[in-house]
Amino acid sequence: MATQGTNVWHDLAWFAGPCTVAPHLSCNRPASFSFSDTIMAYRTHSPHALRALVTDMVTAAGWTLEEARETADHLVLANLSGHDSHGVGMLPLYFQSLADGNLSPQAKPKARLDAAPFLIIDAGVALGQPAARNAVEQAAAMAKAGGVAILNLLDAHHIGRIGHYAEAAAEHGLISLFWVNVAGRPPIVAPHAAKEARFGTNPHAIGIPVPGGDPIILDFATSRMAHGKARVALNKGEAVPPGYIIDGQGRPTTEPRHVFLHGIAGDETLGALLPFGDHKGAGLALIAELLSAGLMGAARIDQKPARSWILNSLFGIVIDPARLEPDAALRKDRVESYLAFVRAAKPQDPADPVLTPGEKERATRIARTRDGIPLDDETWSQIKAAAAAHGLDAERY
């Protein structure tokens, strides 16, 4: 069941509600995300209810129960982690792709090469989350057997939060590195010093397991903000921070509408997100495009298909750390002692302690599992419409 309310949203990822987390973590919002306060209506949903709704929607559309559960688990975990940009709010886009004939439950991935240490899979625009998870599971088995696996998943539909797959590899005790491109739609990220877009958001993720502990999960878009986070801001009616977006004339703007075709006026040109770290993020975006898609001939951002969709190709390296250091206790001590050294750095703000990659997401999961997942009314309205098209009443969940 959903509960309603209003709230002051201060950033794009963190639910501004009651929060109790691990003792060394803080619920304070990063200062860089202090926008003008916006009062927004929202609905708070239990994770269980959202998983049930997503599962029923995906099976009603023709996918198997296994595929539906994997998709539901992935999307809801993204919301629980504070990454609403890659959560259940993506469902309406998937269902629009289905309605347009761009996504089909009959599409299934096929191996192009399965010869250790190489695994190349043509996804054939299959539903992204199951296709990517199955590919990573196959690569994990290959790495456990031979020490390393090199994975290339080609032309999947949107595969979601990339850190999810680093977490999946870490569950097997494996190190992982992933690069992903975004194709099938116009470029949305400008190269450094450019006035127009040439890249997708092209995320990058690295996971390092810690024996008996929580893994290190580094996951980021090569743009200053994910396109999905701009969508969340647009749905909430919020501005984005200065320095994140340029309009179609290359001028700085805080209006997220400039990076959505449905947000610009008829006489306007699509704007662009800016890369993080200037030339550094732009360089990583270029490398991700070539590694994941360009070398293997998968869809690239500069190739405009006749139909609009989101296509992802993924390039990954999965490594068994036991081949590097067989003693798990030593590995654990070496990683944890360095993490403790990093966390002990004096913070600029005592209320905002130094965190290591993955800690914020784990803290957010604790809070949202207890307090519920907030969805703004516009996002919930879009989900309801997508459910209704397949005979489901989302309000009953």
pLDDT digits (tens, 9 = 90+) for 8-17: 332 323 222 3
DSSP structural state of residue 147 = S
The pLDDT score that the predictor gives to residue 16 is: 28
Q: 125 vs 5, which has greater pLDDT? A: 125
Tell me the average pLDDT of the chain: 90
Tell me what the mean pLDDT of segment 260-277 comes to. Answer: 94
The pLDDT score that the predictor gives to residue 228 is: 82
Q: How many whole angstroms separate alpha carbon 293 and alpha carbon 153? A: 9
Phi-psi sector, 54: left (phi>0), alpha (psi -120 to 50), beta = alpha
What's the pLDDT tens digit per position in 220-244? Answer: 999 999 888 898 899 889 999 999 9
Q: How many whole angstroms separate alpha carbon 209 and alpha carbon 356? A: 13
Phi, psi of 319 (to 5 degrees): -130, 140
Phi, psi of 375 (to 5 degrees): -125, 130
Are 284 and 172 contacting, i.e. CB atoms less than 8 angstroms apart? no
Q: Which of 26-30, 46-50, 69-73, 175-179 has the lowest mean pLDDT?
A: 26-30
Q: How confident is the model at residue 385 (pLDDT cuts 50, 70, 90)?
A: very high
Strands of 271-382, DSSP E: 272-273, 311-319, 373-376
Q: Where in the chain is the domain with CATH 3.30.1370.60?
A: 109-223+275-354
What's the pLDDT tens digit per position in 68-106? Answer: 999 999 999 999 999 999 999 999 999 999 999 999 999
Are 311 and 182 contacting, i.e. CB atoms less than 8 angstroms apart? yes
pLDDT at 26 > cutoff 50: no
Angle at alpha carbon of residue 358, lines to 353 and 360, rounded to 5°: 45
The pLDDT score that the predictor gives to residue 34 is: 34
pLDDT at 314 > cutoff 60: yes
The pLDDT score that the predictor gives to residue 4 is: 54
The pLDDT score that the predictor gives to residue 11 is: 30
Q: Answer whether CATH 1.10.1530.10 is correct for domain 1-106+358-397.
A: yes
Q: How confident is the model at residue 37 (pLDDT cuts 50, 70, 90)?
A: very low
- Which fold is adopted by the domain 109-223+275-354? Ribosomal Protein S8; Chain: A, domain 1 (3.30.1370)
Indicate the burial class of 38 (C-beta count within 10 angstroms; 0-12, 13-18, 19 or more): middle
What's the pLDDT tens digit per position in 153-179? Answer: 999 999 999 999 999 999 999 999 999
The pLDDT score that the predictor gives to residue 128 is: 98
Tell me what the mean pLDDT of segment 378-393 comes to. Answer: 96
CB-CB neighbours of 45 under 10 Å: 25
In angstroms, what CA-CA distances link 211 with 57, 155, 328, 330, 333?
37, 34, 6, 9, 9
The pLDDT score that the predictor gives to residue 14 is: 27
Strands of the chain, DSSP E: 2-9, 38-45, 110-115, 118-122, 148-157, 175-183, 204-208, 216-220, 245-246, 252-253, 272-273, 311-319, 373-376
CB-CB neighbours of 252 under 10 Å: 12
What's the pLDDT tens digit per position in 285-307? Answer: 999 999 999 999 999 999 877 67
**Sheet-wide strand order for 245-246:** 252-253, 245-246, 272-273
The pLDDT score that the predictor gives to residue 60 is: 98
Q: Where in the chain is the domain with CATH 1.10.1530.10?
A: 1-106+358-397
The pLDDT score that the predictor gives to residue 226 is: 87
The pLDDT score that the predictor gives to residue 266 is: 87
The pLDDT score that the predictor gives to residue 40 is: 58
Tell me what the mean pLDDT of segment 377-395 comes to. Answer: 96
Tell me what the mean pLDDT of segment 330-343 comes to. Answer: 97
